[in-house]
Amino acid sequence: MDPEAVTAMATATATAAAAAPGAPAGVGESLMGPAFEAIYPFAIALALGALVGIERERTRLSSDEDRASLPAGVRTFPLIALLGCSLAWLGAHFGNVVFAVGLGGFALVVAAVYVMTSRAGDLGMTTEVAAFVTFALGAMVQSGHSLLASALAVSMTVILSSRDRLHNVVLNFETEDLYAALTLAVVTVIVLPVLPDRGLGPYGVWNPFKIWLLVVFISAIAFAGYVGIKVLGPGRGTAIAGLLGGVVSSTAATLSFAGRSRDEPALARPFALAIALAWAAMFGRVIIEIAVVNARLVSHVVVPIAAAGIAGAAGAGLLVLHAQRDRASAKEAQGTYKNPFSLWSAVKFGAFFAVVLLVARAAQVQFEDAGVLVAAVLTGLFDVDAITLTAARLSGQGALSNETASGAIYLAIAANTVMKAGLAISLGAPALRRALAAVAALSLGAGVVAMLVLR
């Protein structure tokens, strides 16, 4: 079963679970009273069990390898979830020992079946583990955690239904890919948390945590794009990575994908599409940030920013058509695409970013309002978020006029767009350069036209 189909099947269940115990007080009672509230957890447990059971049934019937495993499918898994829910109810009313005894009995049954099937030659434990998880999900629903149980059920079913894809990823995973993943994990979960999250150095402008976070973003986007290509193919894989990169840092996405296009020219079109999508996502992100910090400023800037974003999205749409023509060569290059992870390149970019932050802050301190505009250009070369949030906050506090704040945001966006286009042109393959130069010109032109019309 495809993950998309699994998610669609679970939507109704997850929505309905909002009314179960654990949802806002009174939701269940407001529908049908206390009786409905008592029955509802069992209905949710049955639905979650059925979701997992359908996937297991399809897998068992379609694969000779799984027919010898635990004979559990569309009927058994709903019963397992119902068993977990019922034992949790009994434990709540008659003591936890009842639940413990029931869980022990269920574990013995699963263990016995596993021993029998393993003697028949099946050494897999996927279905057995899924049975235990389904039992636990049923108990969670009865304990008032229906939404969490629904999310976990959907996640588990997606994992189960993605077996072939996951196996292919592992088979194509090389030793250097493992080292890259471990390195990324180290710099993310070990190095990043211990860095101080406060301003240091001149003007307090250097925040080690945030600067290193940019390094992590650049590395993670490159690695995510690599995995996306391996799993989903050059088109969808890079497109998703580009959109996610735009939500985080479109500059980092540009740096990652542009550099790879020169090493993998057959993938230049998919990489260009990923970067264009990242740029379009950046415009939407800026509008959301302004709305959160200073909603009144949105009306002053939304039209030019939205116009630039829509134009960029249209350019990305054109790249989709071009990418379709290059599908054959991109598919061939997919098999030889190497891991792009390079921590040293990301560190150098982070160091350069720190220098620009210092220069921008010094200009802001020395020249006040005019310095804000200078800082917007300098900071915007690498990051539009900092100046956007600062300008919006100062405008909301009355320390900066709406016109100056809007101008600073426009300049930051323009500088950032020019910078990203420069990165694409200097680092990218010829096909990527031409495509993104056109997208950048289209976005900037649309934004300028919208500004002139509003005047």
Which of 124, 144, 161 is at the close of a domain? 161
Residue 47's H or E segment, with its range, is helix 34-62
- Tell me the C-alpha distance between 161 and 62, whole Å: 12
Residue 86 has pLDDT above 90, yes or no: yes
- Tell me the C-alpha distance between 57 and 8, whole Å: 18
Please check whether residues 306 and 387 belong to one and the same domain. yes
Check if the beta carbon of residue 249 is closer than 8 Å to that of residue 216: no
Q: Which residues pair with 23 in a beta bridge?
A: 21
Residue among 385, 116, 61 nearest 247 (CA): 385
What integer pLDDT is reported at residue 382 of this predicted model?
77
Q: Please count the CA atoms within 13 angstroms of the CA of 416 that sit on its side-chain side.
A: 33
> Buried b vs exposed e over 88-119: b needs ≥16 C-beta within 10 Å?
bbbbeeeeeebbeebbeebeeebeebbeebee
Please check whether residues 143 and 31 belong to one and the same domain. yes
Please check whether residues 335 and 403 belong to one and the same domain. yes
Residue 108, C-beta contacts closer than 8 angstroms, at least 6 positions apart: none
Residue 448, C-beta contacts closer than 8 angstroms, at least 6 positions apart: 304
3-state helix, strand, coil in the chain (%, to 5): 85, 0, 15
Q: How many other C-beta atoms lie within 10 A of the C-beta of residue 386?
A: 20
Please check whether residues 263 and 408 belong to one and the same domain. yes
Report residue 237 as tokens. 């894989």
Residue 422 has pLDDT above 70, yes or no: yes
Please check whether residues 102 and 209 belong to one and the same domain. no
Mean pLDDT of 296-319: 88
Radius of gyration of the chain, Cα coordinates, nearest whole angstrom: 27
Which of 132, 161, 190 is at the close of a domain? 161
- Tell me the C-alpha distance between 390 and 375, whole Å: 11
Which of 125, 141, 161 is at the close of a domain? 161
What integer pLDDT is reported at residue 398 of this predicted model?
75
Please check whether residues 34 and 144 belong to one and the same domain. yes
Only one residue has tokens 């002053």, namely 300
Residue 111, C-beta contacts closer than 8 angstroms, at least 6 positions apart: none
Q: Which of 142-146, 147-151, 255-259, 446-450 has the lowest mean pLDDT?
A: 255-259
Please check whether residues 302 and 410 belong to one and the same domain. yes
- Tell me the C-alpha distance between 134 and 83, whole Å: 10
Report residue 441 as tokens. 């010109």
Backbone angles phi, psi at 206, to 5 degrees: -95, 110
Residue 349 Cα distances to 1, 251, 263, 382, 417, angstroms: 42, 10, 19, 9, 17
- Tell me the C-alpha distance between 160 and 126, whole Å: 8
What integer pLDDT is reported at residue 135 of this predicted model?
92
Q: Which of 90-94, 239-243, 249-253 has the lowest mean pLDDT?
A: 239-243
Mean pLDDT of 229-246: 66
Domain region containing 53: 3-161
pLDDT tens track for 331-350: 443 444 444 456 666 677 67
Tally the domains of the chain: 2
Amino acid at residue number 304: P
Please check whether residues 129 and 217 belong to one and the same domain. no
pLDDT tens track for 49-73: 888 888 888 776 665 554 445 566 7
Please check whether residues 88 and 181 belong to one and the same domain. no
Mean pLDDT of 197-217: 79
Please check whether residues 306 and 329 belong to one and the same domain. yes
Check if the beta carbon of residue 85 is closer than 8 Å to that of residue 138: yes
SS3 385: helix
Please check whether residues 157 and 178 belong to one and the same domain. no
What integer pLDDT is reported at residue 334 of this predicted model?
41
SS3 366: helix
Residue 305 has pLDDT above 90, yes or no: yes
Under the banding of pLDDT at 50, 70 and 90, the label for residue 9 is: very low
Please check whether residues 123 and 201 belong to one and the same domain. no
What integer pLDDT is reported at residue 87 of this predicted model?
92
What integer pLDDT is reported at residue 29 of this predicted model?
40
Residue 49, C-beta contacts closer than 8 angstroms, at least 6 positions apart: 77, 78, 79, 80, 81, 82, 134, 137, 138
